[in-house]
Amino acid sequence: MQVSRKDFIRTSLAASTGLMVPSFVQATAVDNQGAEPIDLAIVKEFVLKSHNDFARVQALLTEYPHLLNATVDWKDGDFETSIGAMAHMGYIDQVKFMIEKGARFDIFVLALLGQTALVKSLIDFYPQALHAIGPHGFTLLHHAKKGGEPAQELYDFLQGKGLTEEFIKTFKDK
């Protein structure tokens, strides 16, 4: 098989770039090895306060900007982030604030925000997402209900798909 000079150069560049990426990732990981994780007590306070004290959340975020995506394992697979706590509590404005800060968000946050087209699309691609459970066992139906009128169409869609539970007790000690 004859390979043109142009194809050879293009393939060589692509291959050499592919070799550089893992090196960069590895170098970055090595650089972070000396970094200390954020104190677990601070992470827990941040996520706990996300349920009821937005002023404290903002203060902690100012002091520790990397808390934005911090996650607490409440045991038995019950993981929760600040934005996840705000979402299941129905705090739409606070959730939007966190997104503007760059927080990662998921299908539960989208349900709270009434992003019907996005949630429908995700469920079309991944039908089992309909039965996903969020922090503490709260379902998509719960989040859509907390979203109020903007999420009513989504709430109705989820019920039409057969989702009836707003909470599924799945975590020990909860």
As a whole number of angstroms, the distance between CA 116 and CA 110 comes to 8
Question: Distance of alpha carbon 60 from its chain centroid, rounded?
Answer: 19
At 33 the pLDDT is 73
6 plus 50 within the same structural domain? no
Q: Which domain holds residue 128?
A: 40-160
Q: DSSP character for 28? A: H
pTM value > 0.85: no
Q: What percent of the chain has pLDDT over 90?
A: 75
Q: Please say if the pLDDT value at position 62 is more than 60.
A: yes
Q: Does residue 27 belong to any structural domain of this protein?
A: yes
pLDDT at 32 over 80: no
Same domain, 50 and 136: yes
**Per-residue pLDDT reduced to its tens digit, 153-172:** 999 999 999 999 999 988 76
Same domain, yes or no: 30 and 116: no
84 within a domain of the structure (yes/no): yes
Round to whole Å and give the CA distance between 103 and 123.
Answer: 22
| Token pair 């090895």 in the structure block, residue | 33
The mean per-residue pLDDT over the stretch 16-25 comes to 50
Is 133 in contact with 139 (CB distance < 8 Å)? yes
Per residue in 105-140, pLDDT (tens digit) is: 999 999 999 999 999 999 999 999 999 999 999 999
